[in-house]
Every structure is written in C-alpha cells, then in structure tokens.
Chain A
Amino acid sequence: MVAVSPLLQRRLLSTGVTKTHHKPHQQWNIKQVKKSNFADTLEDIKSHVSNSDFVAVSLQNTGFYAAPWQRVSPFDTADTAYLKAKYAAERFQVLHFAVCPFTVRASKVTAYPYNFHLFPRAELKMEMPSYSFYCQTSSLISMARQGFDFNSCINDGISYLSREQESAAKIQIGNPILAKNVTESTSIHSIADSVFIERIKSHIKNWKKTCKETSTRKEDALVRSLRKLVLGNEEYDSRPCMNIDVCSERQAQLVVEMLQEFADDVVPLIIPAKGGATWAVRVVLTSSKEDKDLLQGKLQNDEQELLKKIRGFREVIDLISASQKPVVTHGSLNDLTFIHSKFIAPLPPTVDEFMCSLRLAFPLVIDVNNLMKEISPMRKVTNIPVAISQLKNRFFTPIDMEIPCQAMENEDTIHGQNVVKICELFAKLCSILKINPAAVQSDEEKQASALEAYANIFSPFCTASEEPINGDVKIWANNTRTVSCEDLVFLWGFGDRVTSGVLKGLLQESHEAFSKEFDVRLVDNSCAIVIFWRCGLSETFLNTMNKCSDMRGPLREMVSEGLRAAGYETYNRACRLGLWESRLADSLDRALADPDSASKADSKTKSSDICNEWIINLDDL
C-alpha cells in the first residue's frame, strides 16, 4: 500500500488539476440541512426527487465494526455478511445522511445534493428512536478530520422514528384518530351485533336530540355550565361529544358503520387503547355540515403535524421510497441495513427476509461496486475518489457535473462530498459499460434490464451474476480462486503470537491433510482460517481433531496446548446466534458450547445447499 501511494497521489493530483479547471473551488456546494431548516427543505427535495432519475445516498455512521473479525470479509457468505452488517446497524448510529437526486443525460449529470444531520433525539420522551448507541472512536476521529461538526449535529440534528416506532408511538400518545369511512358494509350481522347496533343507535339519537334542544334554548352561561356539570356531558373542541365503549375491533367497526347514518353532523373518532386496539369510539356532534368539515379538516391537520414531528427525517426516506426511483449507493449492504433498521423496522433474522422487506421499500438498489467489478473485477472500491481516478486513467469518459446552486456560497464544507462523487462515478461507469441510465425512466425494457442486472446485490464480494463465471477464469485466475465453504476450517487456541506463516509451517508437519496444497490466513489475532484446496481434506482433518486416538506427534501436542478446530457451520452459527465476542476464538468456543450444536448433522446438510461457491480474494485476506 505504501508502495502504491506515490503513484496514486500523482493520479489524484492530476484529477485535482482537471477538476479545478471545471470548477474553481474544486468543491461542490451542498445544502446542509438541520432541524432548523428541515421543514423548508422538504418541499425542495420532494420536487427534486420526483424530477430525477436516480437518488444517490451515502451515510456516515458512528462506527462499522466492534472487533476486527466482525467486519465483512471475503470469506463471508451472503448470510454471514448480512448478519455482520445487521449487528453493526443495530449497534451504531447514523449521524450524517447525504441524499442526492440526480439525472444523467448523455455525459451531463445534474445533481441536487443535500446533507442531512441526524441525531436520535427523543422528541417524544419515549426512549425512541434509540436509547443508546455505540461510537467507534476511529470513526468519530475520521469524521472530525473531514470537518464534521458534532456540536451542530447533536444540538440541531434532525430526529426520526422508524415506521414501526411510529405506530408504537401513535398508540402511546393515544390521540383520538379520525375514523376512516367504511366503504364496504361488513359481512352479515349476527343477532348480537344487531342488538348492539340498535342499542347504540337509539342512544345516539336521544343524545343528539337533547344536545340540539339544549343548544337552541337560550341559556345563561352559568346554567349551561351547571347543566354540563350535572349531566356529565363531555365536550371535544367545544363541541358536545359522547364516548361509546367497545369491547372489540368488530364492535368499533360496527359503530363507525352505523354512524354513517348520521354522517351529516356527527364525526366518529377512534380512541386507541394502550395495546393498539380500540378502546372507545368518540362521537362528536357538530352544528352544521360546514362545521363538520371544519372539524375534520382540523383533525387531519393536527394528525399530519404530529406525524411530521414524529417522523422527522424519515419523511425523506418515505418520499424516496414512494418515488420508487433507483437508489445508487456505495457499499449497499452497510447503508441499506442501516436504513432498514433506523427508518423502516428492526432487521429480520435472515438475509432473504431482509431482501423481501427492503424490496418493498426500495425496488432497485444499485451499488457502484457491482458496476466497478465489471470493469476491474479484482479491485474492491474502498474509496470513491481513487476509483474515479482509476477510471480516468483507463477510459476517456468526461462527465460534466452540474449542481444547480442551492446552498450558501460561503458555506465551507469539506465533508459530504462523497454522495456527489458517487453520482459522478455512476455516470462514468454507465458510460463505460454502455448502459443508458436515462432508459430507466423511459421503460425501454432492454436497457432497463441492463442496469437491473447490477441491482439488488448485497453480498459485497459476489459478482454480478449469481454463478461463478467460467468464461472469466483466465483473467482472474492469477489471484482469485473459488472455494467451497466445506473446504474451510477455523483454527484457534494457538496463542496470540503466531503469524500465519509460522502456523502454516507447524501444520504442514502435523497431519497428512496438510500434505496437499493449503493456505492459512489469520482472521484476527486469536483465530486462523485454513483453506484446503483439495476437497474432502477438511473433513479428514476435522475428523482427526474430533478423535483423540488418531492424533499423533506435533498435532497432538498442539491440541494438548489448546488448539481447536471447527468447520464453517460453527462460524455461521456464531454469527446467527449473535455471539459477537471481541475475539473470534471466544465466539467459536461459545458456538461449540451452545446446546444447538448437538444437531450438527442436520445443519450440515442444510448448509451445503445454502453455501454457493464463492470467490476468495487472497489479496483481501
């Protein structure tokens, strides 16, 4: 890495020069959105999203992983990668969310970047959206280095609630909700139902009558208030009202349905109980049709206001989701798990459920990484500017970035440029790959599907197409080889001073399984992964490890010093059960100790179905 850096620096320098040519400041103006100007911005971004073809998003979190082994590695399957991302998303917090609706026309990109500063403030005093969150010191420091303003984030960050939290909050607030009009009559009424309805109906009729009578009577204010006191009549928003207790959802529905008879001047409100069910129906009597409309309008307005306050930043997520525009990201697994857990609902336990749930909100998610892999399959994009300069060196793809000025000119923000660079990179990649991004809008099926081929792939180390690509082996063979999960063995308990080379040397002499080609890599300083390039040998080795009698010589010695081994399934189980110890060795120990491991045989057959062949990039290990 050190060796490459001068080269890269030179390249970066050259791109910097060209950029200065285009744009005097070399930096784009990005609108900074905080609590104070959030409401004003919402309308702008709404129109920009609906007028754009794509929406690029980029998140800055308080951390990525709690321990070295918990970051997503090349040897992770889609399942374990998801579980790791899930753990991180639940643990850490999004402090900065950049959204950039953009359109690509030929070589011109029109982008409207926004930087939202978020903070999970408990606006409603309900321990929502989050009671606490973790911070990885290195993440905070690197954010600070980029010029992120933590004071303004914590003081003036926008709060939010996820969709699921919102419904929970609504119940807790317990405000009466305007009953929705029942369009369809419910099925046949039983006798009990009819009796109930008739009873309520007559009750309401009487009540209405008395209300009307008293209101027409010219009365002294004192008398009126006395009457109110004596009769115990309630008022809602200075209109007479009455509560009808109901025992079930069905009864509530029946009451609302029945009340349509009185639709001229009666407004039914649902009063929710704590568990989410209906507790009572409140009937409010209005004086006229106009008054009724007024009340309904006011109620709707109040609800909207409250919801706006509750949802906070989620409005933005909702409007991106509602627009159904393709979402462009870099590192989609990480970003989308965060988005799902913070703004939609808690993350489901498996990757398949996650994909289903996510697809409902965002039908098309494109990771620039997947497009990039098509061009240089060996490299994982860790850094957008580097990727852009790499492309610049190999291809001639001038992209004209146009950012209609929307921010204060003098606002000096170093951070948050990433999202614009994602747009630029995406446009470049599309032009290199001969994909017309405009086609997404125009329903040209052929073109649209070209992009879709790269969409919704969430395992960071998988290629665009699901199967291993046979035709490409020639180019890739230099340093990628695929291996099945079956041929991997985790080894730990060898002390924390051993390098992979030393360990390999030790193993070579210990067992015949190591007589053929194999590789050893350290996952963290407590655990190593052994790759058997010849199938079947892993099983031989694991069998030996399980049987004391078969062990001889150095291996026996190592085992007596604490060496342990387990197959990929144990690793999988550790992730599945959430045994996120800071050392992988401890997690694997716990996974082996878990009572579920008794049913090893069943899970093993299952796992071989799940685990596809995957690509292991030795450089990344």
Chain B
Amino acid sequence: MRKHQWLRTTLSRAYYCSFSSSFPLKHVTQSNFESAVADLKTHLKAADFVAIDLEMTGVASAPWRESLEFDRFDVKYLKVKDSAEKFAVVQFGVCPFRWDPLRLSFIAHPHNFYIFPRQEVPTDSSSCEFLCQTTSMDFLAKYHFDFNACIRQGVSYLSRWQEDEALRRLNLRYEDELSEQARDVPLFSITDILFSERMKNRLREWRDGLLKDTSGGSQLEGSFLNDSNQQFQNIFYKMRPALSLNGFTSHQRRLIQSVTKKHFKDLAFVRVEGESSCSQQLVVYTDSESDRDLLKKEVMDDYRRQAEMKIKAAIGFRHVIDLLSSEKKLIIGHNCFLDLAHVHSKFLGPLPLEAEEFVHSVNKCFPYIIDTKILLNTNNILKQRMNKSKTSLSSAFLSLCPQIAFASNESCNLTFSSSVKVEITSKKDFWGINVLMHLLGACFVFKSKFCSSKSQHKSSSWISGVKHEAGYDAFMTGCIFAQACNLLGIDFKLYSPSENLACNERLQKHANLLYLSWINGDIIDLSTGHRTAESLRCRDLKKWQTGILFENIVLIWGFPSDLKTAVIKDRISKVFGPTSVTSICRLDETAVFVQFSKSKLVADFLLVKETLDRSNDAFSVLHPLSTILEGGSTCAASYETYKDICSSPLSKVLFADQAQAVGIRWKTKLVERKEEIEIEEQDNFREENAANTISVYVEQN
C-alpha cells in the first residue's frame, strides 16, 4: 500500500508536468460532433466491447430518496426511476476496446461527450427542465467540470419516444394546416374591413400589372416597389412571380390571407420557413387553380421536409446510443443500473413503472451487458484476487491494474503472466498503458458517480483538483474488465474477433446481471427480469443475518424533529416488549422506519397509535408512546405507504412535507392482521423470540 502511495505522488507529479495537455481523451461538443461520431462509428464496429460511464447533475432529489438499507427492490427501482427522470446527464463517456492481435494488446478509444438537453424541437414540457443537486454540482466543480462547455456547446439529444412524438405532432399539424386553409376570418371592425378592401385593391393592381406586362417586367417594379414602407416586395418564388409581405401584424396577415383566398383564384398565400427560423409570408401568382393547388402542396411538403430534417438533426447524441444498440456490442459498466435508467429515460423513452418491464426494454436494446462491480463481487477467482478490498471503480482500478506496471517496470515477477496490455490511441502516437494506467491510478482514484453514501464522499475527498471525466471513467471500467477477463483465464491471443465475448463460458454466467441495490445486494437479471439476493457477501454479516422483513416494518413520520432515534426505540420497546424492535432506521429528521420482530406487531402498533390519537384522557398522556405522538401530527403506516410516497413525482426535502404534499390526510393507516397463522409459522421457523407482546403493554399501564 505504501508503495502505491509513493507511486501515486510521484506519478501524479509527472502527470502534471508533462502529460496533462496531451492525454488522448477525445472531448466531443457540438462543434466536432459530426466528425467524432463518424470516427467512433468505425471504432465501435471493430470493438470487442464498449465501456460507458455517465456524469449526472445529481443522484437523489431529496435526502429520504437516497439509497437506504430498508429499500425493497420495487422501492429501489422507484428511487432510481425518480433520479433518472429528474436529473440531467451532462457527460457521457464511451470507450470502445479492440483486441489487436499484432500488438497483442487492447486498443482503447476514450470519448468524452458533453451533452445538454437543448430543446431544439419543442417536446413535452417535462423535458424542458432538470434538477441539480447542490452537492453534486459542487462536486463536479471541484473536479473542474466545464459547465460552460456543457451549456454552450453540449450536444443535444432526442429520445426515440420524443422523436416519434415530434413526428406525430408534425403530421397532425400538416393535416391541420391543409384543412385550415378553408377557415375564414370574420371581419369585426371597420378598420378590418377598410384594410381588407385596400389590400384587395393592391393585390388586384399587382396581378393586373403582371398580366398586362408579361413581356416587360420593369414597369411593374416602378409601380409597386415605391411602396413607402416597403411592405410589399417583388420576388420570384418557385419560378412564379410573388409578393413578399413585410411589416404586417399577424392579424393583418390573416386578413390578407383571407382576401387572397376569397377574391383571387389565381393567387396563393403561402408561408415559407426562412433560413433564419423566422417565417416569411408570400402572395404568389399562379397560372391556374390546379397550379395553385400544386404550389400549395409543394410548399407544404417543403415545410414538412424542413421540419422533419430539424427533428432528425435534433437527435444529436442519440446517434451514439443507436449505434451501440444496432451493433449489439458488449457494453461494460461499473455498477451501472442508474446509468442504464438514465440511458433509457433520455434516449429511449419514459421509464416504465415496474423494474421487470424496464429490464426487458433495456435488454431488447442492449442484449449484452456486463457490470464490472458484479464481476468483481460474484466471481470467486476475482473475489480472491480483490482480497476484500473495495470494489468502487477507482479502488478496483488501483488494485487490479497497477500490478501490470509493477511487473514490467520494475521487472518484478509477481503477476507478470497475468497482465493484459491496453493502449490508447491518439492521432500521433500510441500510449502504452503501462505508463498510462499509473497515471490514471494516480489521478482518477475517484469514481465518477456520486455514490449517495456519505462515507464515500469523505474517504475520497483527499484528492482534489484532479480532472475527472466520464471518458476516463469509461476507460477505467474497460481496463478493469480486460484485466478481469485475463484473470478468469480468457486468453485473448487465442481469441477470434468474430467471437462474442459475452457468450464466453467464463463470462456468460455474469452477463446481464446488475446490482439493483448495492447496499442490499439485490441483483436483477436483465434477460429474465428475475431478482436474486447475493448469497455470499459478508460485508455486514450481522445485519445480513437479521435480514429485513418488509411486512414487519412500520413507517412513522411527523414527530417532533428533535426526538432521538434511541428514544423512539425505547418508547416502543416499553410498550411492545424489549425484543419487539429488531432495528430502527432514520430516513431524515422527520421520519423513521421501525422493524418489529413480528409482522403482527405492526398491526398492533398502528392500532395502539390510532387509539391514542383518538382518546384524549390523562391515561393516554402517560402512555410511553405519547412522546412520539407529541405535537399531534405524527403519522404511521406500513411499508406499502413508503412505496406509494416514493412513486410520487414530487420531491420535498423533508419526508413529512412530502407525505403531506402527496395528499395524505389520515394519521394512521391500519393494516389487517391477515394470514396470521402463516406468519406465525414463519416466525417459529425463524426462531424469533416470540414472547411478551400485548401482555407487556397491559402490564406497563
């Protein structure tokens, strides 16, 4: 470890001295997007796998929405869904890796895309704003994230769903516009009538002029262009003489349109989309009625084509996602469930309500995904290799990859045979990963994502002022994966490019598995939608053995905010017995989860609480629970209510406020003591201490 430290400091110094400017990471903004995507396309096609990573403007929209131990799988999905819907992705790292049989190494092409939802095409209003978590923004700023580049230059995007929606709307408008031609503007005021009359005369004058002087057009210019306001201008439109209208109000234009339509069979009023987004109104002379209809159709089609092109142009960054999807390449991420949720909501369509549906939809788009976090935590060989060290991106990278460098640089024979070489291409030269990985190890010890756990924030804060980008993180993820494959005994020298890495027998059982919740070790299978709990994890043995039974949980909120968790536990234990509360977890200052030893106690607790709420006598004041009920706004319900509240799109900072905003007007939601026998059996099976419950409560009073 000491050695690492030393290396880190010396190498980071080296990094700052010479390499910082020439690091071959490709930054992509609006200005170089087209060319970058063209490059990336060839790299992607050739790639064996592609690592991705995202930077977001935040993770949790409220403290109580952060990842908790008491998250049931469906609640966890709701939290991820809420996060992906509210926050924006500001950076997208894509790094294709290709095995080069000649160089006997992987070639990596790290790309760093700045993206920003620019609203180039009007879409649903939900996408015109996004949430920022203050700490996350602060964190990005600390790592010198370039917000200006992101907002001014970021590549915009449109999800598949948004594109369909925009096209559908365009079609509707097209139909409407065709039918609306028939609509008449009623003349209300004298001014309108006078104006219409004047316009009628003007237009007639112009048309008659045209018809009279088909041979010499110069005369007509003299008569018309001398208009004092330059409101009319003679031009040619689609090989026909036309008048362009300037300086009229929209109402006046409508009147002119109606005049044209009513009185001139051979004149057509058309709206043309100008080059600079402002539209131009024209009155065009046509030879016949059929010619006029032809012209109108032509204009409409032009208009439609332009709008369609605008929509196509607005797809922007989604082209990269479409490429990833159509190439069916193996995607590598690190703890990437949230990343995939973002990808789904930003580039595919709105997130479904259920995790299974989401997983199915992701699987359809990306059939092969391997999560390095899963790989490192579930594979026995790798677990041994990691030797219980942390599996966050940065520490995994440090512990897996620098060893390669040790072996070659210091000709130490430790793990020489087990290393795999990775090189990065830049335009000029190839970078040996042996140097590079160290540089990265020194500089990017921190994982891009803001893990909501606060401890992680703390532990990593010692490195600051280091650049930190999605492109690098994607690169690190890919390196970890390459090294992991190597450790698993996949020999790339024997590996043929046509073979799909994900179907390799050694990787297959880890493919398409993701951590739904890292804290609880809930794993979801993308291809089947099945959930499994991670079996062999001894991270927190004590808690793991106790387990969390969600039907045993009561949610209490709205109590006085200075009430300590220990006091709550103490008061409840006084009523329901010393062993009645197995664990207690604070959501925030206004809410708490209490896990009872039996689900029966949940119903009992709610009933007692409700009775106390209703009665107002001295007896209830002396009751131990009255401390919790003080203030009269304490509410309680079963775990299901937490799910309901999580599914709301609202996010108030305090849980009690959220519950109110969601529209909860009751104070206690009783649960029936259903299937008591079954639960009892379960309890017996678990050999829980099923002693004193109600009896204690009676004694106490």
State the Cβ distance, B62 to closest chain A Cβ, in Å: 7
Chain B positions within 8 Å of A24 at CB level:
none
A134 contacts B246, C-beta separation under 8 Å: no
Partner of A150, one of B117, B135, B147, B661: B147
Q: For residue B194, give the distance in angstroms from its CB to the closest CB of chain A.
A: 16
CB contact under 8 A between A2 and B279, given known A127-B63, A137-B118 = yes
Stretch at the interface among B120-128, B196-204, B346-354, B570-578: B120-128
Residues in A269-284 with C-beta less than 8 Å from chain B:
273-275
Q: How far is the CA of A143 from the CA of B63 in the complex (A)?
A: 29
For the complex, what is the distance from the CA of A297 to the CA of B139, rounded to whole Å? 37
Residue B151 at the chain A interface, CB threshold 8 Å: yes
Most B CB contacts (10 A, CB to CB) among A127, A131, A155, A578 go to A131
Question: Is A66 positioned at the interface, with any CB of B under 8 Å from its CB?
Answer: yes
Contact between chains at B63 and A121 (CB < 8 Å): no
Within 8 A of A (CB), among B93-120: 116-119
Does A21 sit within 8 A of B, measured CB to CB?
A: no
Knowing A135-B132, A137-B118, A151-B147, the reply to whether A582 touches B63 (Cβ < 8 A) is: no
Question: Would you list which residues of chain B between 154 and 189 have a CB under 8 Å from chain A?
Answer: 172, 176, 180, 183
- Is B22 on the interface with A (CB-CB < 8 A)? no
- For residue B297, CB closer than 8 A to chain A, the reply is no
Select from chain B the residue with minimum beta-carbon distance to A93: B132
Bound complex: CA A136 to CA B117 (Å): 10
> Cβ of A2 and Cβ of B278 under 8 Å apart?
yes
Determine if B246 and A154 form an interchain contact, defined as CB atoms under 8 angstroms apart.
no
Interface centre among B62, B129, B176, B661 (most CB of A within 10 A): B129
In the bound complex, how far is the Cα of B58 from the Cα of A502, in angstroms?
44
The interface bits of chain B over 219-253 (1 if a CB of A lies within 8 angstroms of the residue's CB, else 0) are 00000000000000000000000000011111011
Let me know if A497 is at the binding interface, CB within 8 A.
Answer: yes
Whether B119 lies near A132 (C-beta < 8 A) is no
User: For the complex, is B137 an interface residue (Cβ under 8 Å from A)?
Assistant: yes
Asked if B148 is at the interface of the complex by the 8 Å CB criterion, the answer is yes
CB 8 Å contact bits of B271-284 with A (1 = contact, 0 = none):
00000001100000
Known A122-B135, A144-B151, A150-B148; contact A132-B130, beta-carbon cutoff 8 A: no
**Bound complex: CA of A397 vs CA of B665, how far in Å?**
59
A512 within 8 A of B: no
On whether the beta carbons of A134 and B248 are closer than 8 Å, the reply is no
Q: Are A582 and B135 in contact (CB under 8 A)?
A: no
CA distance A275 to B62 in the complex (A): 23
Q: What residues on B are CB-neighbors of A63 within 8 Å?
A: 129
- How far apart are the CA atoms of A11 and B633 in the complex, in Å? 61
Known: A2-B279, A132-B61. A154 touches B147 (CB 8 A): yes
Which B-chain residue is minimally distant from A143 (CB atoms)?
B151
Which residue on B lies nearest to A277, using beta carbons? B562
- Chain B residues with Cβ below 8 Å from A144 are 148, 151-152
**B134 surroundings in chain A (CB, below 8 A):** 119-122, 130-133
Q: Kindly identify, within residues 58 to 78 of chain A, every residue whose CB is under 8 Å from any CB belonging to chain B.
A: 62-63, 66-68
What does the 1/0 interface line of A98-138 toward B look like (CB < 8 Å)? 00000000000000000000011110000100111111111
Taken together as a complex, chains A and B put the C-alpha atoms of A138 and B125 apart, in Å, by: 12
Chain B proximity of A392: nearest CB distance (Å): 21
B132 touches A134 (CB 8 A): yes
B129 contacts across to A, CB distance below 8 A: 63, 66, 134-137
A6 contacts partner chain B, Cβ-Cβ < 8 Å: yes
Collect the chain A residues with CB atoms within 8 Å of residue B378's CB. Answer: none
Q: Does A221 contact B (CB under 8 A)?
A: no
B653: A residues at CB distance < 8 A: 127, 131
A573 to chain B, nearest CB (A): 13
Q: Please indicate the chain A residues that have their CB under 8 angstroms from the CB of B651 in the complex.
A: 132
Contacting B at CB under 8 A, from A393-408, are none
- Alpha-carbon separation in the docked complex, A595 to B138 (Å): 43
A141/B151 in contact, CB under 8 A? yes
With contacts A2-B278, A2-B279 taken as known, whether A134 is within 8 angstroms of B130 at the C-beta atoms is yes
CA distance A127 to B138 in the complex (A): 12
A583 to B183, CA, bound (A): 28
B487 within 8 A of A: no
Check if A477 is an interface residue, CB within 8 A of chain B.
no
Of all chain B residues, which has the CB nearest A63?
Answer: B129
- Chain A residues with CB under 8 A of B119: 137-138
Question: Are A150 and B279 in contact (CB-based, < 8 A)?
Answer: no
Interface residues on A, range: 35 or more
Q: B residues within 8 A CB of A601?
A: none
Tell me if B146 counts as interface (CB < 8 A to partner A).
yes
CA distance A131 to B137 in the complex (A): 11
Chain B min CB distance to A153 (Å): 8
- Interface contact B249-A3, CB-CB below 8 Å: yes
In the complex the two chains form, is A150's CB within 8 Å of B151's CB?
A: yes
Q: Does A497 contact B128, Cβ atoms closer than 8 Å?
A: no
CB B112 to nearest CB in A, in angstroms, measures 17
Nearest CB in chain B: distance from A551 CB, A:
27
Chain B, 554-584, CB within 8 A of any chain A CB:
560-562
A469 at the interface (CB under 8 A from B): no
Q: How far is the CA of A63 from the CA of B128 in the complex (A)?
A: 10
Task: Compute how far the CA of A138 lies from the CA of B561 in the bound complex, rounded to whole angstroms.
Answer: 39
Smallest CB–CB gap between A443 and chain B, Å? 45
CA distance A583 to B278 in the complex (A): 28
Of the candidates A3, A63, A136, the one having the most CB atoms from chain B within 10 angstroms of its own CB is: A3
A578 to B652, CA, bound (A): 12
CB of A16 within 8 Å of the partner chain: no
Within 1-36 of A, Cβ neighbours of B (below 8 Å) are at: 1-4, 6-7
Cα distance, A143 to B253, chains bound together (Å): 33
- Residue from the set B61, B130, B249 with the largest chain A CB neighbour count within 10 Å: B130
- Interface of chain B residues 424 through 455 with chain A (CB within 8 A): none
B620 near A: Cβ within 8 Å?
no
Given contacts A121-B134, A136-B128, A138-B128, contact A3 B151 (CB under 8 A): no
From A5, which residue of chain B is reached at the shortest CB distance? B278
Contact B278 A131 (CB under 8 A): no
- Residues of A near B137 (CB, < 8 A) are 119, 154
Contact B176–A497 (Cβ < 8 Å): yes
Residues A135 and B147 in contact, CB atoms below 8 Å apart: no
**CB-based contact B246/A6 at 8 Å:** yes
Q: Is B490 an interface residue (CB 8 A)?
A: no
- List chain B residues, Cβ under 8 A from A121: 134, 138
| A204 CB → nearest B CB, Å | 29
In the complex, B679 has a CB within 8 A of chain A: no
Q: How far, in angstroms, from A598 to B213 measured CA to CA in the complex?
A: 74
Q: 8 Å CB contacts to B: which residues of A470-513?
A: 497, 499, 501-502
Residue of A whose beta carbon sits closest to that of B231:
A3
Residue interface bits A562-587, CB-to-B below 8 A is 1, else 0 = 00000000000000001000110000
Across the interface, name the chain A residue whose C-beta is closest to B130. A135
A149–B146 Cα distance when bound, in Å, is 10
Contact among B63, B126, B183, B247 for A3, CB-based, below 8 A: B247
Whether, in the assembled complex, B382 has its beta carbon less than 8 Å from a beta carbon of chain A, the answer is no
Q: How far is the CA of A501 from the CA of B176 in the complex (A)?
A: 13
Q: A122-B134, A502-B183 are in contact. List 14 more A-B contacts (CB 8 A).
A: A3-B250, A7-B247, A119-B137, A119-B138, A135-B57, A136-B128, A137-B128, A144-B151, A144-B152, A275-B561, A497-B176, A578-B661, A582-B126, A595-B665
Q: Which residues of B are at the interface with A, using a C-beta cutoff of 8 A? A: 57-58, 61-63, 88, 116-119, 124-126, 128-135, 137-138, 140-141, 146-148, 151-152, 172, 176, 180, 183, 246-250, 252-253, 278-279, 560-562, 651, 653, 661, 665
Question: Can you spell out 21 A-B residue pairs with CB atoms less than 8 angstroms apart?
Answer: A6-B246, A6-B247, A119-B137, A119-B138, A120-B134, A122-B134, A122-B138, A127-B653, A132-B131, A132-B133, A133-B131, A134-B131, A135-B130, A141-B118, A149-B148, A150-B147, A154-B137, A274-B562, A275-B560, A275-B562, A595-B665
Which residues of A are in contact with B by a Cβ distance under 8 Å?
1-4, 6-7, 62-63, 66-68, 93, 119-122, 127, 130-138, 140-141, 143-144, 149-151, 153-155, 273-275, 497, 499, 501-502, 578, 582-583, 595
**Sorted from nearest, which 9 A-B pairs have the closest CB atoms?**
A150-B147, A275-B562, A154-B141, A582-B125, A67-B125, A132-B133, A136-B129, A144-B152, A144-B151
